[in-house]
């Protein structure tokens, strides 16, 4: 018996048939595989744009394009592969943007530190 068949079938499912061409797969085992794939994909959809925004020193326009592309891909994946309702997808996207991009997307705004604030009040 091949390894994927051993992995995704239980002994009780294998006993249902004697035909080598017919295989009954366990819903529980396939469910675990699906959960692992979902975890990997969602982690990638969060980490790839964040790491791109931190490592690429490019124009603000390219950074906004990265944010836009991944913000469009994420809800598309959610809507395609889940039964989420419209308001749930909206809430998921809002949380995704807040978590993934709030700290990593700092555009060309003036940056202040404690010394620049102190100097502004001291003069």
Question: 30 near 41, Cβ under 8 Å?
Answer: no
Q: What is the pLDDT along the chain (123 residues), one digit of tens a residue?
A: 577 777 777 778 777 878 877 778 888 888 888 888 888 988 888 888 888 888 887 787 888 888 889 888 888 888 888 888 888 888 888 888 887 777 655 554 445 555 555 444 444
Structure tokens at 16: 């249902």
pLDDT the model gives residue 106: 55
pLDDT the model gives residue 121: 47
Q: Residues 121, 116, 63, 41: is their CA dihedral positive or negative?
A: negative
Q: Domain extents for the chain?
A: 3-122
pLDDT the model gives residue 118: 47
Cβ-proximal residues to 10 (8 Å cutoff; 6+ apart), any chain: 26, 29
Cβ-proximal residues to 38 (8 Å cutoff; 6+ apart), any chain: 81
CA–CA distance from 43 to each of 47, 90, 122 (Å)?
Answer: 6, 19, 46
pLDDT the model gives residue 111: 52
pLDDT the model gives residue 39: 87
The candidate with the shortest Cα–Cα distance to 90, out of 81, 82, 99, 79, is 79
């Amino acid at each position: 018996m091949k390894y994927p068949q051993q992995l995704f079938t239980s002994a009780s499912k294998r006993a249902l048939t004697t035909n080598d061409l017919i295989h009954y797969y366990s819903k529980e085992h396939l469910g675990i595989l699906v959960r692992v794939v979902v975890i990997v994909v969602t982690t990638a959809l969060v980490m790839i744009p964040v790491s791109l925004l931190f490592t690429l020193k490019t124009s603000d326009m390219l950074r906004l394009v990265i944010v836009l592309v991944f913000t469009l891909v994420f809800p598309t994946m959610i809507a395609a592969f889940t039964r989420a309702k419209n308001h749930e997808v909206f809430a998921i996207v809002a949380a995704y943007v807040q978590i993934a991009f709030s700290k990593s997307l700092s555009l060309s705004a003036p940056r202040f530190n404690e010394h620049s604030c102190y100097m502004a009040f001291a003069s």
